[in-house]
Structures are given as C-alpha cells and as structure tokens.
Amino acid sequence: MSIDQLAETALAMVAPGKGIIAIDESNATCAKRFESVGIPNTEENRRAYREMLLTTPNLSQYISGAILFDETLRQKTKDGVPFAEVMRKNGIIPGIKVDKGPQPLAGFPGEVCTEGLDGLRERLKEYASLGARFAKWRAVITIGEDSPSGTCIEANSHALARYAALCQEAGIVPMVEPEIIMDGDHDIDTCMEVTEVVLRSLFGALYDQNVMLEGTILKASMVISGKSCPEQASVEEVAEMTVRCLKSAVPAILPGIVFLSGGQSDEDATAHLNAMNQMGPHPWPLSFSYGRAMQAAALKIWSKDLVGNVAAAQQTVFARAKDNGLAAQGKWKK
C-alpha cells in the first residue's frame, strides 16, 4: 500500500465527528468485565457481545473504525458473516491490536516494556489478509517517585517505532499508544511534564525508523491529575494543558490524534474531549478511541438478558458514540 493509501485510511479514521471504538480486550480482560456483570467468559459469549457492539444500527455515523482482538477478527456473526466483512459493509474500518502486552523491564523494578515484535511481520501479513487496515500497539508508562526512567521511555518508544515501521511495510496504518497511567498521587503539572517527554521521545524514534507520519495515528493520554491526587484538575484545565502539551511535542503533519479514556468516567472523557475541541481549531483533528467509556453501560444492559436486551444495549452504544462524536466537534452538551 502506498503512502497515499495509508494517509487516506488515516484521515478516514479521524473524519469529522467520528472516532474509534476499542473492543480489543484480551480474553483475560474480558473475563474481568464479564465477571463484574455475572456472565460466563465463554468464546460464544464473547462473540455474541462483540456482535452486539459491531452490528449497532447506524454506528458509522459516529464511529470510523474499531480495534479488534485477534479472536474477534477471526469471528463471525451468528449468521456466519465474518466481522471484518460486516464492518466494511457498514462503513467501519477494521483494526487489530498486535502487541503482546507489557512485561517487567529488567533492571528497572516496577517499570514495564511492551513486547510482541518477534514474528510481527508475519502476523501483520495475515491480519491484512483478514481485512485489517490499521493496528494498535500500547506502551505503558507509570508515574512514581523514581519513574518513569529514561530507559523505560526509550525502550517503549523504540518498540512503538519498530512496530509502526512494520505496519506500514504491510500496508497497515499504525496507531501508536503511549499511555501515561492515571494511577498515583501526582498532580497535573507532573503529568504534563512526563507526557511531553514521552511524546518527544516517541516522535524522535518514529523519525529514526523512517515511519511516515502522514500514515500514522497517535492514541494519546490526556494530561490529567493522578487518581489519588488530592487536588483534581478541572475540565478546562485538563483541556488547556493537554492541548498545550500536544502542540509542543506532536508534529502538525500527523493526520490526527485520538484519546484513550484511561480510567476516566464516561462523562469526564466526553467533557474533556469536548472542551479541547471548543478551544480549536488545532493542527490535527482531536477525536476518541474509547473502550470502557463506550461499552460499560451497554455491557450492564446486555448482560441482563443476552437475547432480549440486545436492542436496548445497542441504543446505549449508539448514544455514547453520538455524545463523543459531538464532543469531537466541540458540540456536545451535558
């Protein structure tokens, strides 16, 4: 796939008023979500739940793409239609999570580096043949008394850049996700300092690996107070500091930025995105790639009756997509 085709896909992912739904939970994470609502974590239940999400009527009005787990990309609807085909017909771009998750960083207790580069070239070829047009790799950065270390930031930036280069070689748009974890008692100023350092390191690594930014999407954390910080920043402060941080570290040539919800409440994630877009215009579209903030309410409804509540659960999915689609244009009202 040419750079023009990669760029076209990347721009479609951040089309005005549209964002990405993240349904790429591993089976272990799915088990926790299902356990919270009393649902057995079987392959059929996972398939049925994902079918409910992906077949939500008119979802493509506000959703441009969906990040899938390996299992999900291979699954079909109850009528035997592959999910990737259903998505294409409904105007939703199939994506795939390709990292193998964070592992302890040797020599740096408490810090992690995401693994999954071994065999990635072959996996990407297969995913492309199954219909995936973009991929996602998540790095995990924790703020603590002595962290993150420069080594942790550099190791994760390098892995993200190698992954991105391999994606583009396979004709797949890379979504790079350096997540700054909300856990901790750090204030918003500390979060901003760490986020800026991480983003500068990431884009330096992408440049070193000849990654074409025109065909790349950033999935970013918001600059926000730690969960345990006694002084929580306001919606306006989060929006202002996040935009300032991005403008200082992210090249304008990037097609777009989507935010992760990262443990925020549904409403906070939407309110922060809306406030940022009301401050625009910005060098790039600012949109969303939410998981729990898109699904949590729908899962509770769906779990009560796996058949009878599908329509009600889908209405909730659509409502959340609409709220965030409006927030991506600065038009959401509480």
- The DSSP result for 109-175, as a single string, is TT-EEE---TTHHHHHHHHHHTT--EEEEEEEE--BTTBS-HHHHHHHHHHHHHHHHHHHHTT-EEE
List, for residues 140-154, the tens digit of each pLDDT value: 999 998 999 999 999
Tokens of 277: 């877009």
Please tell me the predicted confidence (pLDDT) of residue 127: 98
| pLDDT tens digits, one per residue of 290-311 | 987 778 889 999 888 765 689 8
Give the residue-averaged pLDDT of 191-215: 98
Which of 86, 69, 90, 68 is CA-nearest to residue 77? 86
Catalytic residues: 177, 219
Model confidence pLDDT, tens digit, residues 128-138: 999 999 999 99
Q: Is the pLDDT of residue 1 over 70?
A: no
Element (H, E) at 30: helix 27-36
Helix (H) or strand (E) holding 225, with range, is none
Instruction: Give how far Cα 40 sits from Cα of 46, 72, 164, 293, Å.
Output: 9, 17, 36, 22
- Report how far residue 216's alpha carbon sits from residue 254's, in angstroms, rounded to the nearest whole number: 7
Q: Report the pLDDT value the prediction gives residue 307, as an integer from 0 to 100.
A: 59
* Dihedral-angle region of residue 234 (phi above 0 means left; psi in -120 to 50 means alpha; beta otherwise): beta
| Close Cβ partners of 153 (under 8 Å, ≥ 6 residues apart) | 141, 197, 198, 201
pLDDT at 43 over 70: yes
Position 180 scores a pLDDT of: 96
Amino acid (1-letter code) at residue 300: K
Question: Mind listing the pLDDT tens digit for each residue in 230-278?
Answer: 999 999 999 999 999 999 999 999 999 999 988 888 899 999 999 999 9
As a whole number, mean pLDDT of residues 171-195 equals: 96
Work out the average pLDDT over 99-125. Answer: 97
Is the preceding peptide bond at 281 cis, omega within 30 degrees of 0? yes
pLDDT at 322 over 90: yes
Domains of the chain, start order = 3-327 (3.20.20.70)
Crossing angle (nearest 10°) for helices 292-304 and 310-327:
170
pLDDT for 72 equals 95
- Which of the residue ranges 122-136, 160-174, 284-298, 312-326 would you say has the lowest mean pLDDT? 284-298
The pLDDT tens digits of the residues spanning 156-165 come to: 999 999 999 9
User: What percentage of residues in the chain have a pLDDT greater than 90?
Assistant: 87
CB-side exposure of 140: number of CA atoms within 13 Å?
A: 18
Chain centroid to CA 284: 17
